[in-house]
Amino acid sequence: KSRFIEMFGDPIRNVKGWKTGKMNDVAPVVNYKGDFNKCKVWLLNLDMVESNTGNIIGYNYVTTDEIGNSTCTFDTTNILYSKLRPYLNKVVIPNEIGYATSEMVPLQPVRGVLNRYYLAHMLRNKSFVDYISEKVSGAKMPRVTMNEFRSFEVPIPPIELQNQFEDFVKQVEKLKFEIETSLKSLEERLNSFNIKGI
């Protein structure tokens, strides 16, 4: 999070003075229109998305007959933004095509203007979450007012800088994965020693 602020500043105050563009222009809502050439497809519901990180807790694959009407479609050019209870901060960078609950909005950053990783981290940023959490309707099930969301002025740093940020995020994710794998392997070895009574 601090690396994002370091590189780009607060997205609400835009202290670095980046040029801006309306969300609707730089990351419009675009559903995936291609084919699903699979027997089973990924169906993503909100309970499978971890708050703040956007990590997927579990993948649910279903037949197309099992998909209801209240869904949207997405691919690996989209970002999925949850408009329901925005304070839960559920933003996903999908790694494959699929269907999602219609509570998720499939944003498509304009190529060469916005990077998926930059936009996802901007949407997850505490300042933005606090800001958009005020722009809701519905008491029991607060949802982001989409007119407010679409008209939000997104700071647009140079694409090279956004791409550098993506490289940094991927390096951190790779390192975390390697550490977790090493710890798991170490745990398994320790458990095998315990079984042997050592």
What rounded mean pLDDT belongs to the chain?
Answer: 93
Single pTM value for the model: 0.86
Give the pLDDT score at 190.
81
Note the pLDDT tens digit of each residue in 65-91: 899 889 999 999 999 999 999 999 999
Q: Is 65 exposed, middle or buried (0-12, 13-18, 19+ CB in 10 A)?
A: exposed
164 to 19, 79, 85: CA distances (angstroms): 18, 19, 31
Sequence-ordered list of residues with C-beta below 8 angstroms from that of 12, at least 6 positions apart, any chain: 127, 128, 131
Is the confidence at residue 1, as pLDDT, over 70? Answer: no
Domain range 2-195, its CATH number among 3.30.70.270, 3.90.220.20, 3.20.20.10, 3.90.230.10: 3.90.220.20
> For residue 87, what are its two tokens?
């304070």
Is the confidence at residue 198, as pLDDT, over 60? Answer: no
User: What residue spans of the chain are helical by DSSP H?
Assistant: 2-8, 23-26, 116-124, 126-133, 146-150, 159-195
137 to 18, 85, 102, 112: CA distances (angstroms): 30, 10, 16, 33
Note the pLDDT tens digit of each residue in 99-121: 999 999 999 999 999 999 999 99
Note the pLDDT tens digit of each residue in 163-175: 999 999 999 888 8
State the Rg of the chain over Cα: 19
Give the pLDDT score at 196.
62
pLDDT (mean) for 39-61? 95
